[in-house]
Amino acid sequence: MRTIHTDVLICGAGAAGLTLAIELARRHVDFLLIDKTTTPFGGSRGKGIQPRTLEIFEAMGVADRMVAAGGRYPAQRKYRADSGYDDVASVEAAAPSAAEPYGEPLMLPQHLTEGILRERLMELGHAPRYGHALADFEQDEQAGVSARVATPDGDVTVRARYLIGADGGRSFVRKALGIDFPGESMNARAVVADLSLSGLKDDVWHRWNGGGAQQISLCPLRGTPLFQLQMPIPLEGEFDLSDAGIAAAIAARTGRADIVVHAVHWRSDYAMSSRLAERYRVGRVFIAGDAAHVHPPTGGQGLNTSVQDAWNLGWKLAAVLGGAPDALLDTYEAERREVAAGMLGLASKLLDAARLRGDLRRGRETQQLDLGYPLSALTLDERAHDASNSAVLRAGDRAPDAPCRGAAGQPVRLFTLSGGGGWLLLRYEASGPSAIAGRPGLRIVDIGVRGELRDDDGYLRDAYGFQPGDIALIRPDGYVGVLTGDEHGAALANYIKWLG
Ligand SMILES: Cc1cc2nc3c(=O)[nH]c(=O)nc-3n(C[C@H](O)[C@H](O)[C@H](O)COP(=O)(O)OP(=O)(O)OC[C@H]3O[C@@H](n4cnc5c(N)ncnc54)[C@H](O)[C@@H]3O)c2cc1C
């Protein structure tokens, strides 16, 4: 059997696998990305991209492409029994601000999101290998992982230093590792389908029978001429998913003979459950995305959480392959499993609201901007905080953006500096040269009238709560690792030394 050697084998080229591949490609790590399907996924299912994910996509070089390809969420039109209707906002939309450049979620069907990620990966010189199924693997703590991959040309052996199971909710990798996947069935089953139809305008998200078993919605899919159908169906029994069956269900539930279904482009029937993997890591094998957590789609969290798992893991894998301590990889599970646990609770709460009141509105808590890693081993906060003031930035929080100026007076955003993939040490009005020695992957930026970055309008000062002499160390994934007023202290020096 032919043997291929690589540093990282990524199993699954969905949103999580593609994000991880881009992050490794940006850092010149050798990897192989495989998917058992012969062609990419073609449905709309995860169509909501949250503001925090847009920030990540900006750093990956794809946010503008995605915004150009998608569109805003339209208002929901809730039809009443008297044939009138009420229009209500679907999502909470805020104007872009200095600290948060993306004020609202983007609607982009999942297959378009994944297409743009593949395009970016191709620009970086890589592509997923379709028709390649992970069939078996074993690991040895010292040497790595040995995997058998079934390909159209027969089985090959892949020898990798790490294996990542980004292989979806039914994850082969998770099962092969024997990782428990506890949780509960949500006693809810639904159909999602992409349709071309006539009889409805595409300026609102149409909803009928809110809150009941007969509820149904047809949402115009931005970036396409299609509508996404969503409707609950009975838990038991066969549901007719043929074109005619779907058309009949729409007619029966809407009472509208003028809605004509011309074609069904993609359809799925799924039972909802809420589950979280007991572990995200066993030795040299990790799981990410739906492989590690599944939950109801209400709230639009799954794709976003999956992308952010990969975003968290990518730079850590690259760092450890480059010599950082293996313990850095343990922070992946510690940070991301806690976020997923919170997300499961949120999605269940929103499912209840949808079932009981037909309420599908998505608020700030779904936008993922307030998530962070305050309890992480990578979080060091030496500033005195007023515990009653939660508005003040803490270490572990998402690092806010800020419009600044370069030394020549040109506009510069902090995200442009922090999105490059390395660590960023911000020295605010520091006196004297930095106590931290330069090293690969760390950029030291002086802010002040003599610094390379000017904060004339005080956006950085306000967002970071900076006092002269303060230091913020921003992680490669855009979270604040360290906040301190003591650049010469042992804590900051040890932190940086530990990273290798
Ligand atoms: C109806 C519905 C609506 C949703 N709506 C939203 C939403 O609005 N917003 C949101 O954020 N999320 C939403 N989601 C969730 C979102 O679709 C998932 O969270 C997302 O697809 C997870 O990405 P992933 O990469 O982890 O897994 P997947 O997308 O499942 O990708 C896994 C990949 O692994 C491959 N694979 C599996 N086994 C193997 C193997 N042995 N060898 C090789 N390859 C393998 C599969 O072929 C697949 O391509 C929705 C989901 C559903 C079902």
| Pair type for strands 285-287 and 75-79 | unpaired
Nearest to 167 by CA among 147, 153, 185, 183: 147
Please state the rounded mean pLDDT for residues 180-199: 94
Q: Which residue is listed with tokens 């650049």?
A: 487
DSSP 194-206: EEEEESS-TTEEE
Position 460 pLDDT exceeds 70: yes
pLDDT tens, position by position, 76-105: 999 998 889 999 998 888 999 999 999 999
Q: What percent of the chain has pLDDT over 70?
A: 97
Q: Which fold has domain 2-72+98-183+274-366?
A: FAD/NAD(P)-binding domain (3.50.50)
Ligand 1 pocket member 109 (CB < 6 A):
no
Contact in structure between 230 and 216 (CB atoms under 8 Å): yes
CA dist 294 and 344 (Å) reads: 8
CATH class belonging to 380-498: alpha beta
User: Cα dist. 64→59, 417, 442 in Å?
Assistant: 11, 17, 27
Q: 414-417 contacts: CB < 8 A, separation 24 or more?
A: 414/460, 415/55, 415/58, 415/59, 415/101, 415/478, 417/443, 417/445, 417/453
Rounded to the nearest angstrom, the distance between the alpha carbon of 370 and the centre of ligand 1 is 24
Position 386 pLDDT exceeds 80: no
Of all protein residues, the one whose alpha carbon is nearest to atom 13 of ligand 1 is 46
Nearest to 182 by CA among 344, 68, 300, 328: 344
Of all protein residues, the one whose alpha carbon is nearest to atom 41 of ligand 1 is 134
Q: Where in the chain is the domain with CATH 3.30.70.2450?
A: 184-272
Position 384 pLDDT exceeds 90: no
Q: Which residues contact 68 (CB under 8 A, 6 or more apart)?
A: none
At residue 337, the pLDDT reads 97
Q: Determine the residue of 306, 311, 361 to mutate for testing ligand 1's pocket, defined as the one with the most ligand atoms within 8 A of the Cβ atom.
A: 306
Q: Which residues contact 277 (CB under 8 A, 6 or more apart)?
A: 174, 179, 180, 181, 287, 291, 292, 293, 337
Ligand 1 pocket member 232 (CB < 6 A):
no
Rounded to the nearest angstrom, the distance between the alpha carbon of 6 and the centre of ligand 1 is 25
Ligand 1 pocket member 289 (CB < 6 A):
yes
pLDDT tens, position by position, 350-369: 767 766 666 666 778 888 99
Rounded to the nearest angstrom, the distance between the alpha carbon of 16 and the centre of ligand 1 is 8
Q: What is the CATH number of domain 184-272?
A: 3.30.70.2450
Contact in structure between 180 and 276 (CB atoms under 8 Å): no
Q: Where in the chain is the domain with CATH 3.50.50.60?
A: 2-72+98-183+274-366
Position 75 pLDDT exceeds 80: yes
At residue 352, the pLDDT reads 72
Ligand 1 pocket member 223 (CB < 6 A):
no
